[in-house]
Structure 1
Amino acid sequence: MLYAAVEVTWAVTGTTVPWKEHSAYAPGVQLFLAALALLAGVACLGSTRTLAKLGQVAVATTLIVALPVFVVGMIGLPIHFVTIVTLSGIQSVTGLAQVLLNTAGAALLLLVGLSYRRRLRGDCPRCGRQHASAAAGPLAHPAASRAPRRTRVAAYLLMCGLLPWAGTKTIWTLGGDALGVAGDDWQKMSVAGASGPSKATASAGIDVTVLAAMVGIFLLLGLLYVWGQVFPRWTLFLSGRRVPRLLPLIPAWLTGVPLAMYGAALLVMAPLMAAGVLPEIKPDPPFTTSSGVTWFAEFGGLAFGGLGIGLIVAARSYAARTHAVCADATAADRPK
């Protein structure tokens, strides 16, 4: 209801809500999103009741249709996160609010859908396993373990997608030329257009987005290894304690999903632009050629898509390895 009220208010008042650079949501789209949010709210209420077969199908269909819409709407979350953390300023308050509303909606619909699926299958809504008693007892947590070898290999290969993008930016920040961009021009624009910590790092020849990618790699590695489940020694007072399960999972999902979608879009668009199917992007300084912009878009797709999918793969493994079950659940039903 809150989401719908905000969307209707923006549509009626003609408030500009950007969804990408130089593009904004049309009032008709905002009204559609408001109607979809209300429909999803009705489905959420229906998921808590005993319904006939047709009602169950209607609730499930509504949740399945609504969830991807909200997920697509959260695609700009990593970009806003980087600008806020680096104190670079918020480009659009309404744009940020829209992304946060979509993120909250996607997360809540996912939880409702998961619980509803468990109830339909006759599983415990809390742990997802089948057991006779009600879900009121303690939870049994599995022992800490690292991800399977296949998962670790896949994650490392996906992380390699960062190399062309990060390497190109590092060349520019060090004063070198690449993709038709002069290092001196890149440095001047980076320092001139930055503020706060991002300006300090740009002055030192360090690109803040590369640093943000390193944070993503740190999160990904934590999802793969035991130190992401039990606080290591260097965490001092927390050493040896169990890491709260949602502490790494929430940022991994919220970052991985939009990064994967954004990277996939770039990976599709760049070859189409190179082949002439889509119009080439006109170069803006410091870029001097359209081909340079196209190549950098391809590098960005490999980087963002690789890191995003890597986070999703690692988070999926982490969620399975740390899944707690009700103590009354049978040992055969517990995750391996």
Structure 2
Amino acid sequence: MMGRVNVSSTEVFILLGLSTRPSLEPVLFILVSIFYVVSIVGNSVIILVSCMDVHLHTPMYFFLTNLSFLDISLITSIVPQLLVNLWGPQKTISYGGCVAQFYISHWLGATECVLLAIMSYDHYAAICRPLHYTVIMYSQLCIGLAFASWLGGLITSMVGSTLTMLLPPCGNNHINHFFCEMPLIMQLAYVDTSLDEIERYLASFSVAVLPLGLILVSYGHIAEAVLEIRSAEGQRKAFNTCSSHVAVVSLFYGSIIFMYLQPAKNTSHEQGKFIAPFYTVVTPMLNPVIYTLRNKDVKTALSQILLENCCGFAGKCGYT
């Protein structure tokens, strides 16, 4: 695009966050800290349980492990800097820090969109093609799909984020947000960003709208298959298989669509400010809670591991 210049002369960005309501910062600091700890612990537990229990060495839990690792990475790319800004009067982030946060969070967010679509296809294969499931979802394919989701997210981030960061700034380094986000960076440009918004919509379509369409198609076939199941027990089992994923998809995509599929210049500062932390902080915390509470296999495996470890500890201490 004509008129682009490098913006590296901007040394720092000022994240306004709750500067207009400083009294809320201590409350938000406590809430975000709790969410962060719960997210790290919950997702780590899912990863450990899925790796340690051989009964969970299946495609579904392979993708769930990827999702948990992705959520840990996503929330870690945002929360530490957010907590620093909420704790003290210093609300700045370096140019390098902003760029790193911008690229990494965009990469991980795009990857999660694709990964959730892959998980919906896995559920479709398990429910609609149960006799051929192991043939369809063989290990090499699962690894390839997971790799493709990470690589696709990275490419999308490299293209979209680079084009956005090359926009010439208007001299204002104040970002009315808690962290560096694509629509907010675009608002700092003093040139017409229409072409950049088209590029953003195309990127959003490829990593958000298209995967969402695949999810809806998968669940359309799943719904037909479930309705054909005669037994109530069979329908309940199929529902339990998909309900956690549906809840996670609804939470994640609801906030993503609101944030990214509207013109950057028209994005509400206050609405966008509080919607973005929802999918970057709240959703990664809720994912392990949803999957643990609604997944009998995970709860059983976790109970078995805890029981074995407790019995082993008791034996070493002479309590048996």
Bigger proportion of residues as helix: 2
Larger radius of gyration: 1
TM-score, normalised to structure 2, is 0.26
Higher relative contact order (CA 8 A, sep 6+): 2
TM-score, normalised to structure 1, is 0.26
